[in-house]
Amino acid sequence: MISLLDLGEQPLSARLLCTQSAKEQTFPIGLVQDPETGLIQLENTVPYVELVRQFDWAVYREPEAHLDGVVERFLQYRGGSDRLRVVGLSIKDWSLVERFQQAGHSGWVIDPSEDLQISGNCGVETIQAVLSESIASSIAQVRGKADLVIARHIWEHTYDLQGLSSAVHHLLKDDGLLLVEVPDCEPLITNLDYTMIWEEHSYYFTSGTLLNCLRQGGFYSRLNTKIRSDSEDLILILADTDHQNTCTGEKFSLPKELENGRSYSMHFEQTKRAWKTCLQEFKKQGPIVLFGVGHLSISFVNYLNLGGYIDFAVDDNQHKQGRYLPGSGIQITPTDEIRRKRPSLILLGFALDPNMLSRSRWKEMIGNGVTVKSIFSSNPLSTP
């Protein structure tokens, strides 16, 4: 493996602190790149039991505006009028399964308690660890094999790509199709966006590395598309198990993947220095506030070592208010604190159209004379 980044010991971003001095458990976080496939991944994964949600209100939402089009495109590709059986791997797939149900097809999602014999507040971090070939085979014997298996936002979480692929094979009919959706990390890598790195994502796919990964697992692309959304860019691939069909989509370029990985690695320290210089200047003019507390903003603060420059954070989620950011101990307050403390700079930790800043709610919230910047390098509001 090629070593790209060593971020040292880091806390888990989902574990907001109850007190500023609370003791934290940390794990080594670093990125490596496979020289034979170009796939970027975590050097060490965090034990999945540590990633189970501690709070019921902590929910990650995936983009869904494109899902109606996904159903329409799949049905056009599949053709015929047969009633299809659609299976989702996790709760993240329910919204798409329901759309197929509304179109007259049958569908269900793997139930952690009934199908996997696991309980508690578990998510994809647990499903990817427990779903094996034997369990998938048992599920198929009871529920029947599927015409379509949906795997939205689980492929990047898995610790065993080959194992997950093998399990899906047991769930599919011989002529069945697999729909995989993952974040598109290529824009993040090429734009040097280090908020991309997250302890819950084992792999950081581009179209090329995902296609290559699926082929290694015995799946061959039939449809390959990129989807742009306000929150994140996506890769969506529809694949089957027939290697004789002509695959669609872009060709895989190992030199390109490796060069992008090298650039991402080489520019990390430069990016860190640029942000520190930027925040030092704004700090002279007044407080700096982080707006929006999610894993992206926590990664931004901790990986670039910027906690000492940020005075407070704000978030609309009342469950987060009064807690503290892991790693930096920055306090989370209601958004009203922005007007009261008169910051010189607001760092946006979520996607926002720059045109939104001219609307009345934002003007009222942030007041006059406050600079607003984004932590995301591809956003027009980003500074370094």
Tell me: pLDDT of 364 over 70: no
Q: Which amino acid is at 229?
A: S
Q: Quick check: helix, strand or coil at residue 346?
A: strand
**Confidence class of residue 343 from pLDDT cuts 50, 70 and 90?**
very high
Answer yes or no: do 72 and 220 share one domain.
yes
Answer yes or no: do 255 and 289 share one domain.
no
* Lookup result for tokens 């370029």: 253
The count of structural domains within the chain is: 2
Q: For the purposes of burial, counting CB atoms within 10 Å of the CB of 93, is it exposed (0-12), middle (13-18) or buried (19 or more)?
A: buried
In this prediction the pTM is 0.93
Structure confidence at residue 264 (pLDDT): 98
Structure confidence at residue 242 (pLDDT): 86
Taking the CB of residue 61, how many other CB atoms lie within 10 A of it?
8
Tell me: pLDDT of 384 over 90: no
* Lookup result for tokens 């824009």: 187
Residues 261-312: pLDDT tens digits?
A: 999 999 999 999 999 999 999 999 999 999 999 999 999 999 999 999 999 9
Answer yes or no: do 193 and 229 share one domain.
yes
Out of 212, 229, 263, a domain closes at: 263
Tell me: pLDDT of 338 over 60: yes
Cα three-residue angle 161-11-122, rounded to 5 degrees: 50
Structure confidence at residue 355 (pLDDT): 64
Q: Residue 59: inside a domain, yes or no?
A: yes
Question: Of 373, 331, 368, which is closest to residue 348 (Cα–Cα)?
Answer: 373
Taking the CB of residue 166, how many other CB atoms lie within 10 A of it?
17
Rounded to an integer, what distance in angstroms lies between the CA atom of residue 329 and that of residue 312? 9
Answer yes or no: do 258 and 309 share one domain.
no
Q: Residue 323: inside a domain, yes or no?
A: yes
Tell me: pLDDT of 356 over 70: no
Structure tokens at 114: 């009934």
Cβ 315 vs Cβ 321: under 8 Å: yes
Please give the residue that has the higher pLDDT: either 69 or 362. 69
Cβ 199 vs Cβ 42: under 8 Å: yes
Cβ neighbours of residue 194 under 8 Å, at least 6 residues apart?
268, 271, 299, 300, 303, 304
* Residue spans of alpha helices (H) in the chain: 67-78, 94-102, 112-116, 124-130, 133-143, 161-171, 186-190, 207-216, 254-266, 268-283, 295-303, 337-341, 360-366
Q: What residue numbers bound the domain in which 104 lies?
A: 40-263
Structure confidence at residue 81 (pLDDT): 72
8-state DSSP, 324: B
Answer yes or no: do 301 and 224 share one domain.
no
Answer yes or no: do 206 and 237 share one domain.
yes
Answer yes or no: do 315 and 369 share one domain.
yes
Q: For the CA atoms of the chain, what is the radius of gyration? A: 22
Cβ 125 vs Cβ 160: under 8 Å: no
Answer yes or no: do 258 and 283 share one domain.
no
Answer yes or no: do 55 and 191 share one domain.
yes
Answer yes or no: do 316 and 182 share one domain.
no
Please give the residue that has the higher pLDDT: either 190 or 230. 190
Lateral strand order in the sheet of 2-11: 2-11, 26-33, 40-42, 203-204
Please give the residue that has the higher pLDDT: either 253 or 260. 260
Answer yes or no: do 290 and 182 share one domain.
no
Tell me: pLDDT of 247 over 60: no
Question: Of 181, 14, 2, which is closest to residue 93 (Cα–Cα)?
Answer: 181
Cβ 181 vs Cβ 92: under 8 Å: no
Structure confidence at residue 359 (pLDDT): 63
Q: Which amino acid is at 170?
A: H
Q: Residue 11: inside a domain, yes or no?
A: no
Q: Residue 159: inside a domain, yes or no?
A: yes
Rounded to an integer, what distance in angstroms lies between the CA atom of residue 129 and that of residue 231? 27
Average pLDDT, the chain: 91
**Confidence class of residue 122 from pLDDT cuts 50, 70 and 90?**
confident
Q: Quick check: helix, strand or coil at residue 308?
A: helix
Taking the CB of residue 275, how many other CB atoms lie within 10 A of it?
24
What CATH number is attached to the domain comprising 352? 3.40.50.720
Cβ neighbours of residue 284 under 8 Å, at least 6 residues apart?
none
Answer yes or no: do 92 and 186 share one domain.
yes
Structure tokens at 374: 């984004």
Pick the range with the lowest mean pLDDT from 112-121, 130-139, 318-327. 112-121
